[in-house]
Structure formats: structure tokens, C-alpha cells
Structure 1
Amino acid sequence: MDTTLADPLIGRLLDGRYRVESRIARGGMATVYVALDIRLDRTVALKVMHRSLAEDPAFVRRFIGEAKSAASLSHPNVVQVFDQGTDGDVVFLSMEYVPGRTLRDVLRERGRLTAREALEVMIPVLAALGAAHQKGLIHRDVKPENVLLAADGRVKVVDFGLARAVEASNQTRTGVMIGTIGYMSPEQVTTGRTDARSDVYAAGIMLFELVTGGPPYSGEAPMTIAYKHVHEDVPPPSSVVPDAPPALDALVAAAACRDPGERPADATALLIRAVATHRALAGDTAPRAGETVASLSTPGAAGPNATVSIPNTATAPAAPGHTLIQPRPQMPEGRGPSRLWRGMPPAGRFLTVLGAVMAVAIGLTGWYFAQSDPIKVPEVRGKNIDLARSQMEGRGFVVVVGQGVHDDKAAKDTVVRMDPVAGTEVDDGAKVTLIPSLGPKMIAVPDLAGGTEGAARERLAKLGLKVDDVHRIESDTVARGLVLSTSPQAGGKVREGGKVDITLSAGLLMPDMKGIPRDQADAWLREQGFQVEFREQADDAQPCTVIAQDPAAKAEIDRNTKVTLTLSNCNTGFQWPWDGGRFDIDGDGAVLAVPNVLNKSVGDARRELQAAGFSVKTRKLRRGGGIVRGQFPMSGHAPRGSRVTIWY
């Protein structure tokens, strides 16, 4: 039965981005899946941490930090870390997907490599480790399982910093060692301290294994192997494979020296020696760091698309290739076996080691229970930053207020984020960082007047604003199609992502001249710069008034446009516009004098006509006008209540 069918992660979309498609392998700390990044449409490898680790807040914090460090490491021989994320109880890394197989797979198939082949694998591995050491990153778990041979022959190192993240978890406290027992340096076994020279030691052990086909030490229990790392020198490869060259023996001896002070200072220093050794063996034809090992990358049975796996999990805890979490024994100091130890019978040696392990266990138990109980970080998001800080400090936390961030939903000066998050178990006096909200981000509306609509839209979009309504109004000062104004006006503040109305110039619009007397229409249009022509036709309208026009009313026009006005017949007698009796006439049928209101303000004209006993109708000729430029009837007498039309 395919175990992947029962895997609940298969088919799941993690973090709204990664669709899990199949499981590659399962190791001691994580399971690796092939997934599709639907956002970038690329295949990635997802390393999902086991639940026991993902539930540990201390591990998650360190894991995120180590992921950031690993992501900053860009090197052709390092599996690139793309992303880190959490989805509920799932903590994962998104990494470069490298089809191929591990160096452990190669050893299982080949048994061992020639000296030159081994160096051609180690050179790119050391180049990757050297780049990490230059950035202050220590791998801590260098072994064949963490070296991938891509289908195209590239050599890649994986899992930078993961062992360090595990060591920081609540499951592993002082006195516990993390790593793969067969590749641990003596100082890693005895003190837990690691630096670049610890990776150099592991690289030396791995080189020994590549050439000989097996590790330098073996034993039924992990403590047996750990003891040998501390008290026995790594034998030369030629002691197992007689044809191994002396130069390779010297390289392994330098890298795997028990005294870290006598090893190469870092992987780059060992890389220089490895290249020189390869040149000596190959007649100065050594590959540069990063060259491929195509002859090893394509197995006969696995095919070109074989899947890369992480370290396998086996039931035997002492297997040399597995990452372990083990109590650290107390070892006698010194580089060589002591005379006392050599003289002990086997039973005495066993009791000595057992006593040391028990002493460590008792000490760890006392230390563990002496620690103060962890406390949980309270939830203060949404509270005023000053109040939240006071409450946290009152509970013994060290509070740091970070730089504020804009937030559309959180009110200004309230806590919007905190690190660590609420519910995290921490020690008394732990530091908590609070991030206050600056409220919604407000954008000042720029001055867009005089620009085109397209330029206005582009500028607003760059500021994170959108165009809402677009209006057009007449303007005799701003060219057609250019921006007249905005709402809110320039300088006003709008929330980021908000909308702005734009008013564009429609240029000059042809006024509605219908009903205006001929002389008044002619005078006003010529004053505006138009060329005017008249034609007459018989009509029932008031004589010599405009009954039609070309261009039509509200048409967009330019100055000096030719305007043709059609008039009702000017030769008929004058008729009053009495509207069929729609005006009031007092008992004596009074007829009143019509005041001339030309060139007066609209307000004054209306009041004067109404005071004289007439109703008033106003018609606009041009936007912004406020002075009467036409009147009908303009003089004479009319019954009380008659309507007088004025144009302005």
C-alpha cells in the first residue's frame, strides 16, 4: 500500500500558496514533499517539521531565524531556501526542488568512490560550507544524507541551520547533543560547542567514508562511537583501502584532527587543500568549486528523475547516518587514551562510562527542576500601546516598543503585532516587542490641474489611489480634456487605496440662444469672438428672436467658430409674450412698464423685475457668468404677472 495515500497533507494547500502533491521521504526531524507554488507556478520541495517540534514555541522562533539566515545564503552548491511559513500546526520550509539522489544513495550503490571521485564531490561541498562560514553560518550536521547529486550532476548541500534550531527547542536543554553521531567532532560530543571547525571535522569523516565505503568508527551504541571520536584518532584511509594515496591520508588527518586548533580554520581553508590534493592526483586538472559530478548523479536503476531524499529513519538508534538527540557523556580530557583507561578491564570501563552517564542524568534532572516555570505571553493586541506596556511590565516582562506600522483596521496607538505572540511560553523577565498601529495610511492628493486625464490616473495609481467619477464642465480658460480640479482638492488626505473624483475641462460649449432677440444674440456672440450669420423663416414665435442654431446647444466648439442663427420673421408686428393668460391681472386689468435690466447682476435683475410685478425666468449662456446679457421683453408694457426671460 502506498503510504502517501494516507498522508493528510497530500492535496492540501498550505499558506494559500503551496499545493502538496507527493511525499519524497521522511526523516528524523522532518518530512519532505514535492509541492507546486501556485503563485509563481514552480515546483518546490517542502520540508515539513514533525509535529513534536512544530508544537515547541522555542523551536519555531529559532527555526524562523535560521530559515532567514539560510535564505540569505546564495551559492550554486547550496539548496536555496525560498520561503518559511506556518499553516495552523504545520511549520515548513519552501526550498529549491533538486531531482536526483543523495550521496548516501551513491555509497549504497557503489560501495565506495575512487580518491579522485571523492574529491570531486567534496570540492563543491566544501565550497558551499565555505560560503556559509564566511557569513557566520555553521551547518552542524554534515553527512552524505545532506549532500544531493542532481540529475544534471550538480552537487548541492541541504539543511543549513536545522540542527541549531532543534537544539534551541524545549526538548533539548543544556547537556544534550544534537547531530549525527558518526560525524560529531570531539568538542561537539564533550561540550556541545560548535564552530566552522566542527563542520571541517565532519567533512573529514565524510571524505574517509567516501573513499573507504564506511565510517572510521563503529559500535553497538551511540555512546561507544562518541567515545571513539573523543579518544581515538581517525585512521588513515589507506589502512582500509591500501591503494588510497598518501596525499588523501594527509588531507583526512588534517580535517579530522581531534584538536580543533590544529584543523583548517574553516571549510574554505580545507577547500584549498582539497583542490591542491586533487591537482596532485590528477595532474593539475582539478575541477573548480561548483563543477558537477555527472558520473555519480544518475544511477542505473533510479532513472534520471529519481527523487532526492532526506536522512532515512531507522529503528536502530545507533545507525551512523541518522541525526540523533542524545545525552552528552562526561569524557576524560586529553587527546590520547589515558594509561588508567588502557589498564582497565572491560567491566571497569563499562562501569566508568555508566557512572558518567548517570551523573550527567542526575545533574540534568536537578537542573531541569530548578528552572522557573515558564509563563505565557498575554494577549494585548488591540489595547492602547501605553496601557499594554504598563500591564506587560507589571507582569515582569521587558517591553520594547518597535517602530509603528500603518494598519487599516487597527486604531492609531493600539498594539497591532507582538513578538513573541500571545500564548507563547517564555521565561520570567523575557523580552516582548510591541508594534503600535499608526492608523490607516493617508495619502495627500497631488495637484493635478492642467494635466491630462491619463497622466492624472497614472500619478494617482503610483500613490495607491484610484479614480472614481470623471466630470466634464465648460471652461474658457483651460483647454479641452485637461484637469480642472479634483475632489478632495489638492492637498486633501485620502486613505491609501481610496478614490478621487476628477473634473476635466470640456472647453467651450455652444450656448443655447433660442428665444433671445436678434440684436442681443448678435452683440453677445460677437463679443465672445464668434462669427455670426442670420437667416429668417416664418414662425409663430415672437418676431426676430432665435428659433434655431448651428452648432447646436452644448456642442464643443472653438473660438472664431461660425455660428448660424435662424430667426422668426422680423417683419411681422410686435406681440407680447403673455403665455395665454398664465399671469395675474388685477381687477382694473393694469398693464405695467417692463424695466430694462441689461448689464445688471442676475440677483439684482430678478429682484427688480419681481418688484415691478413680473415673474422671472433665467437662462445661462456661459458658465461663470453673472451679468444679464439678454432680456425679453426688454422694454414697453406688459400685463401684471407676465414672464420676463433674462440670459446671463
Structure 2
Amino acid sequence: MRGRSARAGLPARSPTPTTYEEVTVTTRDDDLVGRVLDGRYYLRKILARGGMGTVFLATDTRLDRTVAVKVMQGGDTDIDFSERLSSEARAAARLSHPNVVAVFDQGDDAGVLYLVMEYVPGHTLRDVISREAPLPPRRVLSLIDPLLVALSAAHDARIIHRDIKPENVLITPSGQLKVADFGLARAITPNTQATTGVLIGSVSYLAPELVLNEGADARCDVYAVGAVMFEMLTGQKPHTGETPIQVAYQHVHADVPAPSTLVTGIPPYVDALVARATARDRDQRSADARVLLHQVRRVRSALEAELVDDVDLTQDLQLHRVAASMAGPDGWPAPEGWPESWPDADATPTAAAVMAAPYTETVPDDSTALYRPGPPEAYATGYEATRAVTRDAAGIPAPPVEHTRAGNRASTRFEDKHRRGRRMLIAVLVVAVLAATFGWWYGVARYDSAPDLLGMTVAQARAEGQRAGYSVDDAGQEFSETVPRGSVVSTEPEPGGRILPEGTMALTISKGKERYAAPDVEGMSEDEAEAALAEVKAIVGDVEREYSDTVDTGDVISASLPVGRMIRPDTEVDLVVSKGRKPVTVKDYTGKSLETAQAKLDKAGFEVEVDRVYDDEVPKDQVMAQDPASGTAYKGDTITLTVSDGREPIEVPGVVGKNVDDARAILEAAGFKVKVEKERIHFGSNLVSRQSPGGGDEAPPGTTILLRIV
């Protein structure tokens, strides 16, 4: 806490005059469904709406994979917002961790700012809290552990989340926990606070320093995790109010209550853990997620041991501060040497201030007691402070008679003690020699040296061991790279080791070199191939990814070792994994001849389908349209060409027997051209004897009709 202590009688510090509210900007999200952002991300449906944007289920058409696309709220009104979002997206993308939702891409499509992330099916921590809260402490810490593992990786990379809340913690169907939205609060906050006074983030989990606009570090994430722990343990948020500003005010001026005050059965060290994480003074919080993770695991160990309380652990986790009240609640005056004024009791005094206050001691946070040293203890009862002294006539003190007699008795006791000491020393030396002798015999002398049977066959080793007077047992088998199969690879005791006469030697027999047949992993998924190799104690080496028209995405195309080859354990097997079919850019051949278009598309690997239509304007065999005309497709996909079949045919008039001039006029009137040729035998009558095409046939307008006359 950064304000003044009310207990010290000083005025409380108010937060920076800023309006705090949950951001709920309404946009026409439904209009975005079905849109393709940047020609790549097809938005299929809305998954969730939040204060920072709307999350869509989408398909990356370029890589043919399902992704989650977050469309940001209000980003198009901020000139610098796109640059900040891009910077934070790059930082989050570098944070590669199994407990962090991966960031794939970021962009701006005509003012629509978006972030492309890994799609995580399943549910959120909010769903778990809604269904199960209050949760048992062991269940709470089992869920908090991977959350802190993810934040530890982020804090190590100097990335702060700033908006930890149950909605940003995703849980897959297999139970894996992933943290989403790294960097978004940082990307949005600078402009929002500067221009609107609105604080971005979930007010129920905001650290006091964020409310006061005093800057953020890893400890604001620690506070949020502590608030989430409290909600999981109790089913209630740490602070509540009718308006967000009331909740923010409580973060600054009120401690998070102990969970055990709301739910019975919570151990004191769990209360102390929550108090440590949610300390209003961030200097008293856990330094970062990795420190809090260590504390959480200590508490989990205590819970698993079913400890009602662990005093040392509780004291380690409790908040401590110097009691600095000028006049305590009991009305004690300030001790001499104290300063006239003192920082509030919630603040941590400097070392110099502590040295100036000799009557204080470090006490738990809930204590206001002052240590006041009392007077020295009185002498114990019976202490002889004085004694009677007698003097002779000259005034010289005479020694007491009782003292002299006591001295003689002491001298006699000393001589007796000296004699007893010599006898005791001799006895100890004798015992030591006997013990050493017995130890030497028991530990060394009674043993033989075990013979060397290594490398012998089982029969040879048994015979040799029995010849030396020992029993020989079988201790099992193990693989060996140096000892042939069926020979002795080790003995117990080992050669030269200690063995009792007529003792037993245990033989371990070699199974030969450990070899396994390489499995057939072609066609398996990458995970299945790794599991198959693990069964023969092999490991995956380099993984190369290539396009394939026959192998599905993510499946193995080939392996570096042939199937059945005998391999030793830990052999690395390189894999070639399919990236799926290779996308091919589609070129538009509209206006080109059918022959040219079909040749080019065939060469690119597409199937060509021709749809012919009559057209009075487009020449025959010219491509009128193409579907698809652009974008990308895959080999084997079908491209449809709409090709002109020229003008639609009409019926040719019959003019056989007519005068050539009349026939020409009739045909030309019908839209045909006329060519006249004489028959070999021509009589000069100029009558049409034959025509081609013939009367009643169909031909396109403009076709030349050949007339033969006699």
C-alpha cells in the first residue's frame, strides 16, 4: 500500500483522479463473420467477446489450419495503436512455451486490427470457478502451478501480462493449461489512459500500483494471481462494489481478506500465501512469478502431507513490517529518541529509521505491540551477598576454620579422582584395542577375495566358482556392448571383492548387444512416429518438412533409416514430415485461346473443365471466363474455363434450283456469305445445282455458303 496509515492518524492518499471502468465497446462483430482478413483469414463464427476485442474462430486459408483471430476494439482510431500492437505481438510470439497460447500473426485490414493466435479448444478457468468454487486448496494450487510456470517464462523474458484473470486461462480437453493475451493490455493502455482516462483491464484483479498509475512490473501479475487464488478458494472476488471505481478504491485501501474467514478448513499457510501474493505494498509481494511458484510448491507439499499448520512455513510467508506507531492503541507515549513523525505502518522504514528506534522489533503484520525491556532480574533466592569475617588482635582477618577443612577434603577428593581417571583410561584403551581387533577381523580378516569370473561362459563360471568353494547363483541378464551373449558381464561381489568362505556369488549374464529393428513410421503422424521410435529406444533427430501431394499434413513422408535395420538405443532417426499439398498460384487466362490456357493449366498440375457457350462478340475458342481466376489452389484441383463457341448456328435456307442471283440474295439476307463456283459441265443457265452446307442444315451467321451452278 502506498497511502498513509489510518492507524497512524494521518490522512489517506487518494488514487490518481482517473475514471476506472470495465471496457465494453459495442461493435458490429456479426458483420465480420464470413469476412476474409488480408485475403487469408476466413472468420467463421464468434467465440467470445471481451473488453479488448472479439475472438473469432477462423481458418488460415494459406496453411489450411484452424486459428483464433482477436479483432481489437477501437484500434482504428489510434494512429500508434497498430504499431504498439505489432510490437507486443512480436514480443509475445517470441514467448514459445507449452503453457502459453502461441501468437502467429498480426495485421491491419482496412482499419480492422487483428491478432492471430493458436486455437485452444476446451474451456476457461472461469468455467471451472463457476462450476466448482470454492475449490479445495490442493486443487487450486494444482491449477495455479502451470499458470505460474507460464508467467515465470514470461517474466524471465521481461514480458508482463498485465491482465491475468480466469477468462485468460484456457484449459484443453486433455487438462493442459494455457495463458492467453500476453501484451494486449500493454498495447492498449498507453493511449487509453492518456486520452480517455479509462484503465484497460479487469478491475477485480488490478494491482494497487496499476490503479494509482505508478507503473507496472512482474509484481502486478503476482497480485492478479493472488486475487485469482482467492476467488478459486472462496468462490468470491477479493473486492466487490457497485461500480468499478469502488472496487479499484478497495484495491488501494483494503487488504484482501484471509480465505479462511469465508471458507472453513483452509490452513494458515494457505492464508499466508494469498496475503503474500496480494500485499498492497508491492515491495512485500513475491518478486515475480518464479518466486511465487517456489512458494506455491512449498505450500502444496504441506497440503499433500496433510499438515493442519506448518508454523515455519506460515511465518516465512507472513508479511512483516516495523511497528512504527507514535502512540499505540493502548495510549503508550513514544519512547525517547523516536522521531516526531513516522511513515505509516504499512510502509517499510529505511535501515536508518529502524536504527533510530531502539524500542521496536519486527512483528507480524497484524500486531501493534511495542517491545519494552523491563528491569534486570533480581538475584535468585539464597544468593550470599555478604559473609562474617573475624580478625585477630592486630586486625588481620583470620581464615575461616570451615574453609580450611573444606580445602583438605577437596585435596583428598582430587587424589581419588586422579587415580580413578588412570584406571578408566587403561580400561578404555583395552576396550579400544579389543574393539579394533574385532572390527578388523569382522570387517576384513574373515573375508576371502572373490575370484574374477568376468567374460567366462556360464558353465565355466559355475565350475570355477564352485572349485573355489563358493555357491553360484543366477542374478539375471542384461545387455552388454562388449561381453558376448551367454558370458558373465558382472558378479556380486565383484572381482577382488569381499566374500565369506563358502559364500554365494551371483552371476549376471550378457544378453549381447542391445539392438532393435527400426519401425516403419511412414504415414504415421509426427507424435505417433516419435512414440514408435521410443518403443525401440530410438529418438527423433532432425525433422525436415516438405510439401506432398499424397501424404497428409503432419504425417511422415520418410525416415532416414530403412525399416527393419537393427539399431542401438538412443539412435537418432531423421524424419521428413509433410506440409500437405503445395499451394500453386492461379493465373487468369481470360481472353487467351483455349489451346494456350489448357496447356498452361495442365502444366501447373490442374484439371481443366471446358464449358462452351455461344457468343456473337467473342471469337470461337477464346476463353471468356475462368473459375477460380486468381488466388491459390492445389495440384489436382479443377479450373473451369468458359470458352466461346462462336455465334449460335441458324438454319441455312435451301436455294437449289434457284437463279444464282436470287439464291445469293436469300442467303445474304439470312446472314450468310456466298461463294459461287461453276460445275464442270456448265450450260450457262446460272441455276444452283448444289449448295454446302445444304438447305436445312445449321451454321453460324457469317458462314460462307458454297453454291455450284450449271
Name the TM tier (shorter chain): 0.3 to 0.5
With normalisation by structure 2, the TM-score equals 0.39
Larger Rg: 1 or 2?
A: 2
With normalisation by structure 1, the TM-score equals 0.42
Larger RCO: 1 or 2 (CA < 8 Å, sep 6+): 1
